[in-house]
């Protein structure tokens, strides 16, 4: 697989749009990034997974998946080695990341839900 394959598969997922984050291509569903090509120059695609999903991918296929270095990796950001991943595995991994963001977008955020329950905010007081 290569960058063009990664892009083609990502864009085949329903509702996916290509954007750019910090000068690198990213892939979003409902406005949320689920994959990037930020490390394409090093031969990687990146997936935004949960730490649990990342652990499962890395444990099962360590020759293909590895955590991104630092805090991003601890939070589930995962490199995919494009030169060794098969189309089926890449498609499944992208679909996993896509589904996570698509489902997250469907749920109201805690902050938004709390604000909706608390009613309208009071108008600010005039200070003189």
Mean pLDDT score of the chain? 88
The residues facing 79 across adjacent strands are 46, 66
Q: 124 pLDDT exceeds 80?
A: no
Q: Whose CA is closest to 31, among 21, 23, 22?
A: 21
Find all residues with CB under 8 Å of 73, minimum gap 6, and list them.
Answer: 54, 67
What pLDDT is recorded for position 3? 97
For the entire predicted model, the pTM comes to 0.81
Q: Which two tokens stand for residue 77?
A: 């950001």
What pLDDT is recorded for position 118? 42
Q: Which domains does the chain have, with CATH numbers?
A: 3-107 (3.90.1150.30)
Q: 34 pLDDT exceeds 80?
A: yes
């Amino acid at each position: 697989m290569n960058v063009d394959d990664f892009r083609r598969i990502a864009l085949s997922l329903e509702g996916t749009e290509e954007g750019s984050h910090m000068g690198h291509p990213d892939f979003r569903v409902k406005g949320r990034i689920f994959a990037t090509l930020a490390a394409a120059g090093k031969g990687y695609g990146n997936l935004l997974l949960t730490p649990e999903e990342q652990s499962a991918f890395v444990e099962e296929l360590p020759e293909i998946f590895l955590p991104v270095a630092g805090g991003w990796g601890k939070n589930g950001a995962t490199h995919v080695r494009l030169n060794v991943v098969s189309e089926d595995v890449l498609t499944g991994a992208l679909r996993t990341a896509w589904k996570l963001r698509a489902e997250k977008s469907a749920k109201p955020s805690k902050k938004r839900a709390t604000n909706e329950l608390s009613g309208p905010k009071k108008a600010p007081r005039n200070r003189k």
